[in-house]
Amino acid sequence: MGEVLRQAPAEIRGVRVRWRIFSLIVGFAMIVYFQQRSVSIAAERIMPELSLTQMQIGWLQWAFVFTYGLLQFPGGVFGQRIGARRALTSILLVAVFATALVPLAPTLFTGTALFAVLLGTQLLLGVAHAPFMPVCSGVMAAWLPSRRWALAQGIHTCGLQIGAALAPPILVMLMQAFGWQRALFWAALPPLALIAVWYWYARNTPVEHAAVSAPELAELGTPVIPSSDSGVSLDRIRHILGNRSILLLTGSYICMNYVFYLLASWSFLYLIQQRHFTALEGGWLASLPPIGAAIGAGSGGIITDALARRFGTKWGYRLAPLVALPTAGLLLLVAVYISSAYTAVAALTLAFAAVEITEGAYWAGTMQIARADTMAATGVLNTGGNFGGVLGIPVVAYLSGHGAWNAAFFIGFICALLAALAWFAVDTSHSLAVRPGTAA
C-alpha cells in the first residue's frame, strides 16, 4: 500500500520527473550560449579599450572553437564514463570560472600578456563546454523515449538560441550602465544556482531517481542507456568511428556549422560595420537571428518527429535538412545583396531559422544510430560541427576585416548546399547494433 501511495500522486498530477530533468538541461543550454556569445558582443568595447584588432577578436573566438571542437568526442566518452550528473556539474563550474576571468584579466595584465590570458580563458571555456552537448544528448537518450528525441533536441537547441538572443540586448545595456568588465563579471555568476539544483536533484538514469514512479518507468520502456557503464571499449569506439552514416552526418555538420557560426558569431558586427546600425540598435537587431533560430529549432524538432512517424526514420530525418539547408543558403545571398538594411536583418533571421530547423535531425538521427553510445557518437558529430567553426571563424574574420562580407556569405551559400547533399546518403534506420542485412 505504501508503494501505491508513493506512485499515485505522479499519476494524478501528470508530472513526470523526466521533464524536470529535461528542463534543467534546457536552462543550462541558455546559460552556455549566453557565455559563448559574451566576448563577441563585448568586442565593440573591448577592441578600443584593450587595443585589440578585429583579427585578434577572431582568434579569441577561434581559440574557444578549437578546444570546443577538438574535445567533443573525448567529452562524450568522459560523460559516459562518469555519468551525466557529475559531468555537467564539473564542466559548468569550470565554465563559470573561465567566463568570470575575462573581465578580471585587464586588471592584472596588459599588452601581450593580457591577450595571452584572454586567449587562455577562451581555450578553457572550450574545454568546459565541449562535453555539454554530447552529455545532454545522453540525458535525453536515458530519460526520454526515442519518439521524442528530435523534439527534445529541437527544444534544447531552442534554449541555446534563447540564451544567444538574450545576450546582445542584456550585455549592451549592462555595458552602457556599468562598463564591459563589470557587465561580463556579474553576468557570469547566476549559473551557480542552477548548477547547485542540478547536482542536488538530477540522477544519471530514471531507475536511479527515487522520485520516479513505477508507472513512469513503464512509460519509458526498455532503457537505452544502462544505469551504469564501466567504460567505452576500443571496439565500441572503432564501431562508432567506422559507421558510414555517422561519418556522413559529421561531414554535413561541418558545412552546416560554417553557416551557423557565420550567423551566430558575426551578425552583430555585420549589422554595425556593413549595415551601419548603432551599437544599441545592433544589439537589439542582432537578437533577432537567434530568436529565429530558436523558433526554427523548436519547430524543426516537431517537424522531424512528425516526418519520421509518417515516412520512417530513413526519409523522415532526411526531408527537413534537404529543404531547409538550401533555403538557408539562398537567404544568405538575399541578406548581403538586398539594399534595405532591415530586409537584410529579416533575411538573416529566416536563414538562421532554416539552419536550426535541421538540428533535431542531426542530433536525434545520430542518437537513433548510436543508441547506448549516444554521448560518444554525438561527440563525433559535434567535433565535425565545430571543425566548421575552426575553419570558418578565421576566414570570416579575415574577409570581414577587409570589408569582404559578401564573400564570407557566399561561402556560406556553398556550404549549405554541400550539407544538404550529404543527407541523401545518410541512413538513420540502422543502429550500431543492427547492421544492414541483419534482423532487427
Give the Cα separation of 421 and 321 in Å (integer). Answer: 9
316-373 pLDDT, tens digit each: 999 999 999 999 999 999 999 998 988 999 999 999 999 999 999 999 999 999 988 8
89-125 pLDDT, tens digit each: 999 999 999 999 999 999 999 899 999 999 999 999 9
Delimit the domains of the chain by residue range: 7-425
Determine the topology of domain 7-425 in CATH: Growth Hormone; Chain: A; (1.20.1250)
190-235 pLDDT, tens digit each: 999 999 999 999 999 999 999 998 888 888 877 777 665 556 777 8
Cα 407–160–134 angle (5° rounding)? 100
Confidence band (pLDDT; 50, 70, 90) for 172?
confident
